[in-house]
Structure 1
Amino acid sequence: MRHGGRFALKAAAGVAAAFFAGSAHAQSSVTLYGALDTGVLYTSKTAGATAGQNAGKNFSLIEGGLTPSIFGLTGTEDLGGGLKVSFKLESGINPANGGLADCNGNLFGCQAWVALDNQYGTLKAGLQYSPFFLALYESDPRGFSLFGSSVVNYVDNALATGAFSPNSVSYTSPELAGFQGSVMYSLGGIPGDFQAGRQYSASLKYELGGFMINASIFDSNAGGNAQTPVQSALEYEGRTIGAAYKIGPVTMKLSFVNYKVSGSFNNNVYGGGLDYLVTPALDMNAGVWVTSDRNQTANHSVLGALGATYFMSKRTSLYAQVGTVNNRGLMNTGISLNGALYGAQGTTVAALVGLRHTF
């Protein structure tokens, strides 16, 4: 639905020693990378100015039908002794009009961070994906396709909050006996008010062979000094548990997510589906997500989608996707992050064909 300490000196010295021991002069590299993704979207209904209203059928050229269109810079430097420093600056772009798109609306609104990495884990600071957002990606059978996947439900519920977390410091552990954990804390930056804009998230994942299970939490407060064009300081709580199992070319995934937005709604989302790599050049996947408002169960929706991607080369792919969403009560779940983020009441059928190229 829409919605509107301090640390002991010895401990600090220990952490610094762990990350900086063995530092030396090193090799470095910087890479320019990106992706352009655009497609033609058809929807049998379009959300109108009033929630739930149907504004009619629509054909539109959209960016990011399968994945966001982006460009960025990334680099690493080997400091010696197993220690590396890395950075990433990433922006969303709209190939349809040349403007900014997706992410939080800023120039480098997707990612902007610097990190230290060694055998003890990765320490990262800056604008980054929250562990909660990454856990949802791991349990999505459609790989966070911007059409008909759990990322549509995510943005419908939380907008950019937790997807692109500003003022953040995170730590991700190395993998130990199949387990890997991650924690993140975002500072609001408001003098005298440590709660405004504060975000925190944590996740834990276990993998064994083709099996994966994860769980994650997210909590955020409104406010802070990092207001962005796309709302990224919504006050909400997120909880999820997901699982995946891979058998040969087939991967099956299941997930449960709860989004609790302050003063608004409390949505449970149950999802599942599978991905089938038919040939090295053809991938097909499907997923279904059922959303129910715990505060008012008459508000519910069902979103389903099927997609096929043909890899013309390592960098270029053609794709086609079809899907449907049915909204009841006050629910207005959309079907496409771009062009149909919110949906009208009743059943909407949609189709999308597009081209993606990476560089």
Structure 2
Amino acid sequence: MKSARRVGWTIAAATMALSGAAHAQGSVTLYGIVDAGFQITSKTAGPNGTNAGRTFALTDGGAGPSVFGLQGREDLGGGLQAIFALESGIDVANGGFNNSNGNLFGRQAWVGLTGSFGTIKLGEQFSPFFLSVFASDPRTFSSFGSGIVLYGNNVFLTGAVNANAISYSSPTIAGFQGSALFAPGGIAGDFQAGRQWAASIQYDYGPLTINAAIYDGNAGGQATPVPTGVEFLGRTLGVSYRFSPLTLKASFTSYKVAGSFNDDVFGGGFDYAALPSLDLNGGVWYTTDRNNSNNHSLMGAAGVNYLLSKRTTLYTQIEVVNNHGAMNTGFSVSMPQLLFGVPGTAVGANVGIRHTF
């Protein structure tokens, strides 16, 4: 995080004596986000997709996930560095886990090497597909009314948090940068169970950015409880252009989910830094089921962020969703009952505070 509190240290002589390692310099960053707000919606999905009525509640992560984590690196010489990350999702409403796969460090837990050759990571991590969808989102994956709602509505955390994974990210060459990830399922005698792979490529040319990615994951495997639970094939293509202080984005994402929807999502929107302390953003997403065109939805959302300081932000957001057929686009990923919606038009809004450290 840009505003993270940084804690540095030099490895002590006693530690070197125990490990036999050569003297090196390292640093660790402790960082986090604490986000809470009030959320209201005109409709809420009940049993069998029925309308259970309005919801008004205190919610964790109204604008984005509440997390804490550690990142570290050690200089190994010759431009080579050892790196690691441990990150947990937390629920500020009740003190439990949230926004992860339910484990202590359910968002990220990896170690790797980085240098002029690129970066290699081993462990639980975000996939190149998920990061590409994020990069194309005009509302930076706000928990309320953004592309992350459609992602979660289709496949939960599959393809986002990837356990048992190894990834490689290349250096940027002539504006191009690529990444690839592979995660075996770990089931004896069944190489395909839980197998996941993803790849992405991004091109930057001044204010223009184009990115594309693919994800292919099978059900099963040893990763629990969520990451390999939904079998799907994902594709995405996005473009953004910066007219400082205005950024425009457009994207196409496909979620072909086994035994369920085959959704195409067309999205676009803007982010406008109106003042150093004021940010305005908005987006529209149209989702249609290729298996049945009667299933479709339109979601629109807008947000206002007011920066009280570099670390503390007040925000308010509004969202409108219109569902047809069996489509069930919801409002938010921060509350399970709001991830899925009901037929017809529904309106929601939230207001909250977000602090980073």
TM over 0.5: yes
**Within the alignment, does 1:314 sit opposite 2:310 as a pair?**
yes
Could you list the per-position Cα deviations for residues 129-171 of structure 1 after superposition, in whole angstroms to 9, with x for gaps in the alignment?
0000000011000011111000100010011101100000000
What CA distance in whole angstroms lies between the structure 2 residues aligned with 1:179 and 1:233? 33
> 1:147-226 residue pairs with structure 2 within 5 A?
147-226=144-223
What CA distance in whole angstroms lies between the structure 2 residues aligned with 1:194 and 1:280? 52
Letter in 2 for 1:50: N
What CA distance in whole angstroms lies between the structure 2 residues aligned with 1:69 and 1:203? 27
Aligned residue pairs total 335
What CA distance in whole angstroms lies between the structure 2 residues aligned with 1:358 and 1:137? 19
What CA distance in whole angstroms lies between the structure 2 residues aligned with 1:345 and 1:218? 30
Q: What is the aligned partner in structure 2 of residue 242 from structure 1?
A: 238
Q: What is the aligned partner in structure 1 of residue 80 from structure 2?
A: 83
> 1:91-110 residue pairs with structure 2 within 5 A?
91-110=88-107
Q: What is the aligned partner in structure 1 of residue 41 from structure 2?
A: 43
Could you list the per-position Cα deviations for residues 218-253 of structure 1 after superposition, in whole angstroms to 9, with x for gaps in the alignment?
00001111121x454311000010000001100000
What CA distance in whole angstroms lies between the structure 2 residues aligned with 1:231 and 1:139? 22
**Within the alignment, does 1:67 sit opposite 2:64 as a pair?**
yes
What CA distance in whole angstroms lies between the structure 1 residues aligned with 2:228 and 2:356? 27
What CA distance in whole angstroms lies between the structure 2 residues aligned with 1:274 and 1:24? 50
Q: What is the aligned partner in structure 2 of residue 345 from structure 1?
A: 343
What CA distance in whole angstroms lies between the structure 2 residues aligned with 1:236 and 1:209? 34
Identity of aligned residues (%): 57
The structural deviation recorded for 1:24 is 6.5
* RMSD of aligned residue pairs (Cα, Å): 1.1
What CA distance in whole angstroms lies between the structure 2 residues aligned with 1:25 and 1:234? 46
> 1:207-356 residue pairs with structure 2 within 5 A?
207-228=204-225, 230=226, 232-339=228-335, 340-356=338-354
Q: What is the aligned partner in structure 2 of residue 126 from structure 1?
A: 123
Task: Give the alignment's TM-score, normalised by structure 2.
Answer: 0.92
Contact 1:123/1:170, CA 8 A, preserved across alignment: yes
Q: What is the aligned partner in structure 1 of residue 114 from structure 2?
A: 117
What CA distance in whole angstroms lies between the structure 1 residues aligned with 2:150 and 2:201? 22
SS at match of 2:331: strand
Contact 1:86/1:114, CA 8 A, preserved across alignment: yes
Unmatched runs of 5 consecutive residues or more in structure 2: 1-20
Contact 1:164/1:232, CA 8 A, preserved across alignment: no
Contact 1:24/1:79, CA 8 A, preserved across alignment: no
Unmatched runs of 5 consecutive residues or more in structure 1: 1-22
Letter in 1 for 2:207: G
The structural deviation recorded for 1:192 is 1.2
Could you list the per-position Cα deviations for residues 162-182 of structure 1 after superposition, in whole angstroms to 9, with x for gaps in the alignment?
110000000000000000000
Letter in 1 for 2:180: V
Letter in 2 for 1:318: L
SS at match of 1:336: coil
SS at match of 1:135: helix
> 1:11-30 residue pairs with structure 2 within 5 A?
25-30=23-28
Task: Give the alignment's TM-score, normalised by structure 1.
Answer: 0.92
What CA distance in whole angstroms lies between the structure 2 residues aligned with 1:253 and 1:163? 21
